[in-house]
Amino acid sequence: MKEKSDKLQIQFLEEFQKRSLKSGIEALLFASGEPLTAKELSIYLEEELKIIENTIQEMIEEYDIQERGIKLISIKGSYQLVTKSENSTYIQKLLKKSKRQSLSQASLESLSIIAYQQPITRIDIDEIRGVKSESALQRLLERDLIKEVGRLEVPGRPILYGTTEEFLRQFGIKDLNQLPSLDFFEEDKSYDLERGF
């Protein structure tokens, strides 16, 4: 009987410690507002890295299952709390305007080209779009959706552009592999043509 009681106490303690650790991770991610690595979390919480990583994986699954307004995502080895996309209407009302919706058609076209063709120069973007993209790129840089990732080793050394972690966050993906395949758009276009759209 005593042995059973001891086991229950140990289970209770382990469960309490796990809940406490999850609470700490959640609090740090919320307060930070920026992605934190598992290593950073392990330092702040004074806990083994492997335990932090396992706990975060549990938390990601729990957030996915539970009906909550936020989720825990992984971006290039870092973790962040973000709002679920289904709540965007409420958030837009709160913020009065959504960053994504306030982008012009030119900015969205340029961003799409960069996302799929990066690293890419402005001249190449202009050629694909058929018009100049300078102001669209400036707006995307201001929004931190793209960044300079280097220079092309040709005369004039034009700037190469790529997407940022903010781009991943805004579009709710953890890496570029989660972008829809270009084949998807080709199939969609041919379907529209067949139907006379």
Supply 149's token pair: 């990732």
Domains of the chain, CATH where assigned: 2-86 (1.10.10.10), 105-194 (1.10.10.10)
For the beta sheet containing 159-163, the strands, ordered from the edge strand earlier in sequence to the opposite edge, are: 120-121, 159-163, 146-151
Return the amino acid letter for 2. K
pTM of the predicted model, to two decimals?
0.47
Respond yes or no on whether the N-terminal peptide bond of residue 180 is cis (omega within 30° of 0).
no
Q: Which of 47-51, 117-121, 136-140, 188-192 has the lowest mean pLDDT?
A: 188-192
DSSP state letter for 87: G
Where would I find the beta strands (DSSP E) of 24-145? Answer: 36-37, 70-75, 78-83, 120-121
Return the amino acid letter for 24. G
Q: In this model, does residue 4 exceed pLDDT 80?
A: no
| Predicted pLDDT of residue 117 | 94
pLDDT digit string, tens, across residues 151-160: 999 888 999 9
Q: In this model, does residue 15 exceed pLDDT 90?
A: no
Q: How far apart are CA 47 and CA 131, in angstroms?
A: 54
pLDDT confidence bin for 26, thresholds 50/70/90: very high
